[in-house]
Amino acid sequence: MDLHSDVGLFRSPNLRMKKILSLTLLLAAGGAGWYYYTNNHRAVAAPVYKTATVTRGDILQVVAATGQLDPVLSVDVGSQISGLVKKLYVDFNAPVKKGDKLAEIDPATYQQRLRQAEANLAAAEASNKLQGINTARVTSLFEQKLVTQQELDQSVSQLQQVESQLLTSRASVENARVDLERCTITSPIDGIVMNKQTEEGKTVAASLNAPVLFTIANDLSKMQISAAVAEADIGSVEVGQQVTFTVDAFPNRNFRGEVVQVRNAPKTTSNVVTYDTIINVSNRDLKLRPGMTANVSIIVARRDGTLRIPNAALRVRIPEGVVIAGVTPPPAGNTSKAGGSPIAAPTAAAPAPAAAGAGGGRRGGAGMFGDLTPEQRSIMREIMTEVGVDFRSGPPTAEQRDQIEKLMIARGLPVPDPAARPGEVTVTSRTVYRQKTPGATPEAVTVKAGITDGSATEIISGLEEGDVLVTSISLAGGTSAQPATTNPFGGQRRF
């Protein structure tokens, strides 16, 4: 074996290792490049758009509440005397007229008391008659100078005492007669017996409080709901607004009513302040029964045949790298926590400042001061104090709202649009993304939005019927922009 062959034996393993190492590095670099290429192109390649069409339809903005159905008038009928229930004349659901007999308490005891009182009265009348004769005789003798003045005065005094005893006896007879009449319990109103709390043979004890024997409802064809409306919504509720509601007994049927009273007395339950709102209901077919729970929707604003879009079109988030016409892309690396572009439309229509006096139902009327400067807010608080508005006692009255507006004008404060009354929503500017043709790049469009029913929003201007709007954008790789950022306390934060 020569020298060259020996050297080749030592060099060939090193050369082989270098080739293997180079090939490994080359493959690793290629894999990294492919991974980078695919991940970067996945964010910009073939975004998938979900769309919805602008349509016309009706939108109702409602305030939701719950309440209980009750008769307009119900009377608890009790007993003012004690005794044994001798006879009942009515039962549950029995129709009654005013003055009809409901029950009778054993009158024996009260009949005896009446006879005793009448006997006492007869004795008092006899004593009075006798004393009257004696007084007349003493008066005649006094005129003849046969008796003294003292004897005359004594006789007159005795006559007055007997007359007072006579009056007392007559009163006792009247009391005994009234108690005897109370043994027969009658209906105070026309109506129907809703509840019966006694039976024949039961003893009624009326020592301290009058026990309730019957509950009578005036007319079940007319009922009312006492709905508990939260303080955040009470500013939108007014007398005369229409109401729809359902009950569990008829889940597929909508009943109707009307707001007739908004009470200023607050009620606090579990730190939630509510106000009773009274709603009149027609119950001609008598399907509704007292005590049913009503799921109430108070219609505070209504639009018929208006342009509307789904609320999802107002919550679109743009993934990084997706191009939108009219939107400047953000600098590289400037992404939102959801992995999307920070340039996106607001999620939900923020309520504009309420009209003067609406207050949004919040403590202190914070809804009035949203767009005012600190100086203007100070002036507004002075106006509230001057008018006497205290939101803890309920929303301002119509007269107070008129005074507030006059003072705002006099002191140079901006007065909200008169249309922004309770039940109305001030127009807001929103951004949506319109797609002119299928698959085309969407364009950003500023629209004027009105009321919303929670699933659709009214569009006042900026769009036409038939326009196609983007409701969500997802990438070809299956990722999509999230409509909300992550809440560090768990779940997602709604905007």
Count of beta carbons in the 10 Å neighbourhood of residue 27: 10
pLDDT of residue 324: 80
Residue 236 shares a structural domain with residue 162: no
Over the stretch 466-486, which tens digit does the pLDDT of each residue have? 999 999 988 765 555 545 433
Nearest to 382 by CA among 354, 412, 352: 412
State the burial class of residue 286 (Cβ atoms within 10 Å of its Cβ: 0-12, 13-18, 19+). Answer: exposed
pLDDT of residue 440: 82
CATH number, domain at 234? 2.40.30.170
Residues 355/369, Cβ–Cβ less than 8 Å:
no
Question: What is the total count of domains within the chain?
Answer: 3
Name the 3-class secondary structure at 472: strand
The helix (run of H) or strand (run of E) holding residue 277 is: strand 272-282
| Helix, strand, coil shares, percent, the chain, to 5 | 30, 30, 35
The Cβ-side half-sphere exposure at 211, using a 13 Å CA radius, reads: 15
Is residue 249 pLDDT above 90, yes or no?
A: yes
Residues 440/288, Cβ–Cβ less than 8 Å:
no
Residues 386/408, Cβ–Cβ less than 8 Å:
no
Residue 148 shares a structural domain with residue 106: yes
d(CA 325, CA 483): 20
pLDDT of residue 119: 95
| φ and ψ of 353, to 5 deg | -55, 135
Residue 175 lies in a domain: yes
Kindly tell me the sign of the dihedral angle through the C-alpha atoms of 408, 410, 416, 417: positive
Residue 180 shares a structural domain with residue 158: yes
**Token pair belonging to 451:** 């009321």
Over the stretch 410-455, which tens digit does the pLDDT of each residue have? 887 776 554 444 445 567 888 899 988 887 888 999 999 989 888 9
Residue 82 shares a structural domain with residue 198: yes
CATH number, domain at 83? 1.10.287.470
Over the stretch 63-83, which tens digit does the pLDDT of each residue have? 999 999 999 999 999 999 999
Residues 61/144, Cβ–Cβ less than 8 Å:
no
pLDDT of residue 410: 82
**Token pair belonging to 120:** 């006492």
Is residue 223 pLDDT above 70, yes or no?
A: yes
Over the stretch 323-362, which tens digit does the pLDDT of each residue have? 787 665 555 444 444 333 333 333 333 333 333 333 333 3
Strand ranges of the sheet holding 191-196, from the earlier edge strand across to the other edge: 74-78, 212-217, 191-196, 95-96
Supply the range of the domain harboring residue 402.
366-414
d(CA 91, CA 199): 10
| Final residue belonging to a domain, choices 304, 325, 344 | 304
User: Amino acid letter at 270?
Assistant: S
Residue 84 shares a structural domain with residue 181: yes
Residue 290 shares a structural domain with residue 385: no
